[in-house]
Structure 1
Amino acid sequence: MDFAFTDDQAAITQAAREMLVETCTPTDLRRMLEAGEPSDQARWSTINEMGLLGILAPEAAGGLGLAAPDFVGIAEAAGYVALPEPLVDLAGVTIPLLASLDDDHGWTERAIGGAVVAIGHPANRFVADADTADALLLGDGEDLHIVSRNAVTLTRAESFDPLRRLFQVDWAPSDETRVGSGWGDAADRGALFAAAQMIGLAQRSIDMAVAYAKERTQFGKAIGGYQAVKHLIASAQVKVEFARPVVQAAAAELALGTLPSRARIAHAKIVAGEAADLAARTSVQVHGAMGMTWEVDLHFFLKRAMALNYAWGTPAAHRRTVIDRMTSLPTGPDKTFASELADA
């Protein structure tokens, strides 16, 4: 069995990564913060023109009809640059959910075209990007509603990550706004792609530590030449290398919708969060005293990692899913990681 990404998957990911690295630098992020800009419209237009928003939408709806493994690398690339725009949640979670509805009121096509639909899933206490959204996808019991931005009242909630704009939403459901029932696999998608972003954040933190260790000298020698620094960074990189295939395997099994596949996603979210946490803390330590200051760009990635670790389910909630799988279904060398294992 071939577990490698195809040439097409690698090409799409590489193109997205190169575009994001070029257009979303720490300098760009600081400029946005100083100007109070929630997003960069030129970058969002480029994301739309590349067709990234419709990757997981069915071809009948105007998308590319691809699957989670095709998008997981793009989500990682978005994490690598701490992308402020809602590419991952919109393309990875909201658009697939909209496309599954019997009557989406035309919002799938509009979202693929660049319109932002913010999602108010019960897994998250607040709604991200609600202030810049064209519409909001909200829940009332088991019912789903699409509500115009002008029909809701927003209250800003402070976020640990200054580039994540979170809001409490007050609104009134109606028969006109109802579009369906049930959240489907939206929570699993959100957790999976949050995990992928944290892998990207972890790798960026390590890359920044390596770059700094090469240029910072102590006693006439780059600090990266000292074993104590090498071992710190190497330990963080090993953590990432072990976590990344867990996330990729979870993407491959998302469509199964079984308890084992949901546990794989939960496992991915846990280990990606741990990898991002270790990588960011290691990078702070390598940067020394200046690593504790906001002037060091590393903090964009540290803060995003800490925020995403509690988005789309807390580590404790995901551990309960893993425990549920381990205690309710057979385990062992031929069963614990068997993707075809039937749900109980």
Structure 2
Amino acid sequence: MDFGFTAEQEELRRAAREFFEAETPVRLAREMLEDPVGVSEQAWKKLAELGWTGICVAERYGGSGLGLLELSLVMEEAGRVVLALPLASTAAMAVPAISRLATEAQQERLLPELAAGRTRATLAIAEQSGRWEASGVQARGESAAGGWVLSGEKWFVPDARSADLILVVAGVGEGLGVFVVGRGAEGLELEPLQTVDGTRKLDLIRLEGVALPSDALLGETARPAGELDALVDVAKTALAAEMCGLAGRALEMSVEYAKVREQFGRPIGSFQAIQHKLADMKVGLENARSLVYYAAWALDCGAPDARLAAAMAKAYASDVCPAIIADAVQVHGGIGFTWEHDLHLYLKRANADAVTCGDADENRELVASLLPTEAQ
């Protein structure tokens, strides 16, 4: 049994690392802190030219036809540079929603533009409760005059300011619907939110009688809550992969620093306390990676335990990856706390990812609820 990656997957990882280090280094994330929109159009164009915005889009729509496992490899490499581009919101949130829920005509209209990077999109699920699940959805979509009218609020929407399309989850009858809304739609208002991670912009979206055509509803029908859960599972796995990349780079920086920083006439990496801390960081990182890779594979294959695997990966990564980066700050000592050092960017992104699509506690609750079913 082969648990390794294929040669093609390893080549994708290598290409992603080389591209992100050359074209979107951490320096870009710093620049985006002061940018009100948070996107470098030049960098986005180069990313799209590589096909990674359409990595999970079927080939017939101009995509690569790959899966979540390949996207997770790219997301992990993106984490290494604290990528300040809307890759996660477009490729891991919007594209899966359209691919799974939309009619053939809707897919033909939307997916080629997303795959080519000409259109950016995001998914608006959470509301004031902060829960990324059906029970937290209070926004409503009502049928009116041959179309739809949306009302309500959406909180913590990633990259909404730079998105051309916002996929809004709202109640429809007894079920849920995902509506395609243009960012400039009348009655839609964006309010920037001040959050811990300034490199990924989040917005509050107010929907005040937003009128939409009948074909704005993906699939043109309401869906059960379970289909929303499946979309969140994909997104949380991709974010867990990004957290692994963040933590992995922080660990590398710590090892490099421990080799050159001297105290009492010797490198601090020679002290057992530092060695043990670095070893514990490595063990935690490899455990998180294993959970993420399995979750991505399980979701790609439709494995019976896919939802459980996604919850486990997100719960563990949300606990361990921010802790690894916090330990990296400790290894660096005083310089690790400074604004000039990059570690605070990694820690802030990891803390933001940790609470998106459910924090560690919420995902542990989900794991607990799924265990009896899996054991039967």
Whether these two folds match at TM > 0.5 is yes
**1:129 paired to 2:159:** yes
* Structure 2 CA distance for partners of 1:258 and 1:325, relative to 1, 3 Å: farther
The answer for the alignment partner of 1:336 in structure 2 is none
2:312 maps to a residue whose letter is H
Asked if structure 2 preserves the Cα contact closer than 8 Å seen for 1:192 and 1:251, the reply is yes
Aligned equivalents of 1:215, 1:16: Cα separation in 2:
28
Aligned equivalents of 2:53, 2:265: Cα separation in 1:
49
Aligned residue among 113, 120, 123 for 2:124: 120
The answer for the alignment partner of 1:293 in structure 2 is 338
Please say which of residues 231-240 and 220-229 is displaced more in the overlay: 220-229
Asked if structure 2 preserves the Cα contact closer than 8 Å seen for 1:145 and 1:173, the reply is no
Aligned equivalents of 1:88, 1:19: Cα separation in 2:
17
Aligned equivalents of 2:288, 2:217: Cα separation in 1:
39
Aligned equivalents of 1:203, 1:255: Cα separation in 2:
24
Shift of 1:34: 4.1
Aligned equivalents of 1:243, 1:237: Cα separation in 2:
10
The answer for the alignment partner of 1:178 in structure 2 is 217
**1:91 paired to 2:106:** no
Aligned equivalents of 1:173, 1:315: Cα separation in 2:
37
Aligned equivalents of 1:143, 1:35: Cα separation in 2:
33
The answer for the alignment partner of 1:222 in structure 2 is 267
How far does the alpha carbon of each residue in 1:168-208 deviate from its partner, in whole angstroms, 9 at most, with x for none? 11222534432334455210101110110111111011111
Asked if structure 2 preserves the Cα contact closer than 8 Å seen for 1:92 and 1:193, the reply is yes
Q: How do 1:310-325 and structure 2 match up within 5 A? A: 310-325=355-370
Aligned equivalents of 1:35, 1:153: Cα separation in 2:
19
* Structure 2 CA distance for partners of 1:33 and 1:277, relative to 1, 3 Å: closer
Shift of 1:99: 2.6
Give the secondary-structure state (helix, strand or coil) at the position aligned to 2:356: coil
How far does the alpha carbon of each residue in 1:58-87 deviate from its partner, in whole angstroms, 9 at most, with x for none? 112111211122221111111111111111
Give the secondary-structure state (helix, strand or coil) at the position aligned to 1:126: strand
2:318 maps to a residue whose letter is G
The answer for the alignment partner of 2:75 in structure 1 is 75
Q: How do 1:182-221 and structure 2 match up within 5 A? A: 182=223, 183-184=227-228, 185-221=230-266
Give the secondary-structure state (helix, strand or coil) at the position aligned to 1:163: coil
The answer for the alignment partner of 1:337 in structure 2 is none
Give the secondary-structure state (helix, strand or coil) at the position aligned to 1:65: coil
The answer for the alignment partner of 1:335 in structure 2 is none
* Structure 2 CA distance for partners of 1:35 and 1:148, relative to 1, 3 Å: closer
Aligned equivalents of 1:120, 1:234: Cα separation in 2:
39
How far does the alpha carbon of each residue in 1:11-33 deviate from its partner, in whole angstroms, 9 at most, with x for none? 11210111002222232322332
Q: Percent identity?
A: 32
The answer for the alignment partner of 2:29 in structure 1 is 29
The answer for the alignment partner of 2:7 in structure 1 is 7
* Structure-1-length-normalised TM-score: 0.90
Aligned equivalents of 1:288, 1:56: Cα separation in 2:
41
1:179 maps to a residue whose letter is L
Aligned equivalents of 1:37, 1:210: Cα separation in 2:
35
1:143 maps to a residue whose letter is G
Please say which of residues 302-311 and 85-94 is displaced more in the overlay: 85-94
Aligned residue among 178, 202, 208 for 1:166: 202
The answer for the alignment partner of 1:269 in structure 2 is 314
Give the secondary-structure state (helix, strand or coil) at the position aligned to 1:309: helix
Asked if structure 2 preserves the Cα contact closer than 8 Å seen for 1:202 and 1:240, the reply is yes
Shift of 1:329: 3.2
The answer for the alignment partner of 1:334 in structure 2 is none
Please say which of residues 216-225 and 302-311 is displaced more in the overlay: 216-225
Shift of 1:140: 1.9
2:52 maps to a residue whose letter is L
Aligned equivalents of 2:352, 2:46: Cα separation in 1:
26
The size of the alignment, in residue pairs, is 331
The answer for the alignment partner of 1:104 in structure 2 is 106
Asked if structure 2 preserves the Cα contact closer than 8 Å seen for 1:121 and 1:187, the reply is no
Q: Name the structure with the higher strand share.
A: 2
Please say which of residues 273-282 and 122-131 is displaced more in the overlay: 122-131
Asked if structure 1 preserves the Cα contact closer than 8 Å seen for 2:39 and 2:86, the reply is no
Asked if structure 1 preserves the Cα contact closer than 8 Å seen for 2:37 and 2:201, the reply is no
Aligned equivalents of 2:14, 2:364: Cα separation in 1:
32
1:164 maps to a residue whose letter is R
How far does the alpha carbon of each residue in 1:266-288 deviate from its partner, in whole angstroms, 9 at most, with x for none? 10111112221221111111111
The answer for the alignment partner of 1:42 in structure 2 is 42
Aligned equivalents of 1:173, 1:270: Cα separation in 2:
38
2:14 maps to a residue whose letter is Q
Give the secondary-structure state (helix, strand or coil) at the position aligned to 1:119: strand
How far does the alpha carbon of each residue in 1:130-160 deviate from its partner, in whole angstroms, 9 at most, with x for none? 1111111112211221111111210111111
The answer for the alignment partner of 1:329 in structure 2 is 374
Please say which of residues 32-41 and 75-84 is displaced more in the overlay: 32-41
How far does the alpha carbon of each residue in 1:28-50 deviate from its partner, in whole angstroms, 9 at most, with x for none? 32233245561122221111011
